[in-house]
Structure 1
């Protein structure tokens, strides 16, 4: 009886053990299935592609007048009249103020009197030149007369030489008396003396001509000196007139008076250097304004003349953005800010844009660059805002790679670093993956 009960108890215990093992196996089986399911999650892949993209750079912008001039005094004096005030629209050449300069006007009168004296001296020198020229002509006439007399003396002497020779021959033949030869000899000697006197007269006339010419040269030099003195005085008069003209302050171009720092009766001094105290007036041309945009070094090399600029100003939040074009580039980087100045011109006939106004400028860079692009849905962001992607390796394992993003248009995102063109990443998926996790790519 006891043995049979023992057998029955053993059978029950064995049955309980088998039942426990089966139950345990049944509980372990779903876990294995779940692990196998996790290792074989199907995912859709997308490839990073390299394409040419047009970048846009958004930077702060500041409005500047097209031209701005500081009007300063070129002469010293007291302000007599003020013709323009702040806000006045002025045209080029319009009078802004008049400075009284009585000392300069007296100096001008002195120079005018000096010119009158120099003109008189010039006239006297001119008369001296005319007199010297007359002396030259007289001396030359006397020289010509002496030379003419020399020709006559030569002819007379030649005739007397011939007469003497003929008479001498006749006397030797005893056809004439010897006293006749003596008479002819005296006449010949007289003609010789006359020729010598005429030669002396020629030398004297030559000397007189030289003296007269020297006097003429001296008179001409005196005339030139007087003319130079007159010319110098006239240049001095022109100079004083220019300085007197500076006493009338004028607008250099069409614009608006934006500053005035002078009142009637103020003593102003010559301050031609910019920065030496406040200017008397500031004139700004605002029919067209310049918008200055500092572009950082990373985008500076890509900006081109003619690129489209979209301007937004906080002062006009309800208005459509303004559109302009890049007009000019500085071409160099400011060493203190590492930015390049880009300038755009904007028409401002209604003077809505005020110099100094701040805004935002977006430049659409015409220079396209090669970039690695991914669909925006394939890029994840951590709680701290860092971007990353799930790269699928050749063995279908997941690798989490942090990436640096660039241009984002809402559909595609530029990948600046962390991913190479051609690499495949997991497309949009609700699951968070871990490094080394196995997936089943649906497409490659």
Structure 2
């Protein structure tokens, strides 16, 4: 039976692969088919790659937009109270030592006694000084007698010279002897004065009006001058006005200047304050403590302030105009100095430099190009930069000095 396909009509556009063709034509047709397939596969790959890149771009852009919390700056208080420990010292204080060797015969003042300038505090026995003074006075009298004789001799020889009874050489020798005897007498007198001054040191006197704050003098005790380990016989303090010294940390030193009023709190007077005024600063930062020494003065008419007392000093310093408060965590510290990161209305970051006026730890007082309406990023990453996109997820309440104090407590 003949094959059925031999009677089916053929489409002239179809290629019968089973038909025997020349080798070159078959290879050409096969290459065309492969090229078309490759183009289709390549197009599909490019389309898939473009879709993947677009997806990754959207994902990366979304990841680059960080979520941040912001806080608005708050105006600083017009006055800032800075509390620092201080030490009260007397207006003048003198440790009184003996200026001559001897024994304490008696002491005439004790601790707490009010004394006046030149008032005797103690009397010493110095027999060596007394005897040396007696000998010096005798030597002085001898020197005076010798000078008197030399003066008489020189006068006589001068008269004889006018009569040509003696030579000029002999007269000059007598005049020279008078000058030498005069010098010896002057030296003896100076020694007498020195020993009289030493004898005067047998009476220990108060150098100024004040109160005796310490006494180490004991009757019969040996006093030796020049002994560095010896205790002063007395300490006298002038307490009509007091000095208060405070070590101010470098951070706060710019706030304080002469004329600022402060109040003193002492533990022995609860509920009572004493007024003081800052009069001078050291003007230099101590390398070891990192602080500036300042001096305040306070009137002490009622004698309530005591030398050596501890006190809490409240400085009533005026706040700087335009000063804002921010959390300490909002400050970035870089090579250019402290700065903040501010979020604009378009969600982009602007980094601004600020100046720290006072650092209280969790609250920082700053000045710079910022106002209460700025959205400052709290705890910004170190890598944050200008133009970076962020997304604000939380607005924190503004922080003030009062709130900081409440948190600290």
Q: Shorter chain as normaliser: what TM range?
A: 0.5 to 0.7
Please report how far the alpha carbon of residue 232 of structure 1 lies from its aligned counterpart in structure 2 after TM superposition. Answer: 0.3
Please report how far the alpha carbon of residue 236 of structure 1 lies from its aligned counterpart in structure 2 after TM superposition. Answer: 0.3
Unaligned segments of structure 1, at least 5 residues: 1-44, 140-207, 428-434, 440-444
Is contact 1:132-1:212 (8 Å) kept?
Answer: no
Please report how far the alpha carbon of residue 107 of structure 1 lies from its aligned counterpart in structure 2 after TM superposition. Answer: 1.1
C-alpha distance 423-287 of structure 1, shift in aligned 2 (>3 A): closer
Aligned residue number for residue 104 of structure 1: 129
Aligned residue number for residue 308 of structure 1: 261
Aligned residue number for residue 172 of structure 2: 217
Is contact 1:391-1:424 (8 Å) kept?
Answer: no
Is contact 1:75-1:246 (8 Å) kept?
Answer: yes
Provide the C-alpha distance between the structure 1 equivalents of 2:357 and 2:71, rounded to a whole number of angstroms: 19
Which of 186, 195, 203 matches 1:248?
Answer: 203
- Secondary structure of 2:148's counterpart equals helix
C-alpha distance 130-103 of structure 1, shift in aligned 2 (>3 A): same
1:227 correspondence with 2:182: yes
Divergent runs of 4+, >3 A: 45-57, 368-372, 385-392, 396-399, 403-409, 413-417, 422-427
Q: Which protein is richer in helix relative to its size?
A: 1
Q: CA RMSD in A?
A: 3.8
Is contact 2:344-2:375 (8 Å) kept?
Answer: no
Which of 234, 244, 263 matches 1:281?
Answer: 234
1:125 correspondence with 2:150: yes
* TM-score, with structure 1 as normaliser: 0.59
Aligned residue number for residue 204 of structure 1: none
Provide the C-alpha distance between the structure 2 equivalents of 1:360 and 1:387, rounded to a whole number of angstroms: 31
Q: List per-residue Cα deviations over 1:99-139 (Å, max 9, x = no partner).
A: 10111111111111111111111111111111211111102
**Structure with higher RCO (Cα < 8 A, 6+ apart):** 1
Please report how far the alpha carbon of residue 424 of structure 1 lies from its aligned counterpart in structure 2 after TM superposition. Answer: 3.5
Provide the C-alpha distance between the structure 1 equivalents of 2:225 and 2:393, rounded to a whole number of angstroms: 85
5 Å-filtered alignment, 1:6-405, equals 56-139=81-164, 212-271=167-226, 273=228, 276-319=229-272, 321-365=273-317, 369=320, 372-373=323-324, 392-395=343-346
Is contact 1:392-1:424 (8 Å) kept?
Answer: no
C-alpha distance 426-80 of structure 1, shift in aligned 2 (>3 A): same
Please report how far the alpha carbon of residue 372 of structure 1 lies from its aligned counterpart in structure 2 after TM superposition. Answer: 4.5
Which of 359, 370, 382 matches 1:421?
Answer: 370
Unaligned segments of structure 2, at least 5 residues: 1-69, 332-339, 377-389, 395-409
How many equivalent residue pairs? 302
C-alpha distance 51-347 of structure 1, shift in aligned 2 (>3 A): closer
Provide the C-alpha distance between the structure 2 equivalents of 1:235 and 1:227, rounded to a whole number of angstroms: 12
C-alpha distance 130-408 of structure 1, shift in aligned 2 (>3 A): closer
Aligned residue number for residue 9 of structure 1: none
* TM-score, with structure 2 as normaliser: 0.64
Please report how far the alpha carbon of residue 52 of structure 1 lies from its aligned counterpart in structure 2 after TM superposition. Answer: 11
- Secondary structure of 2:153's counterpart equals helix
Instruction: From the CA coordinates, give the structure whose radius of gyration is larger.
Output: 1
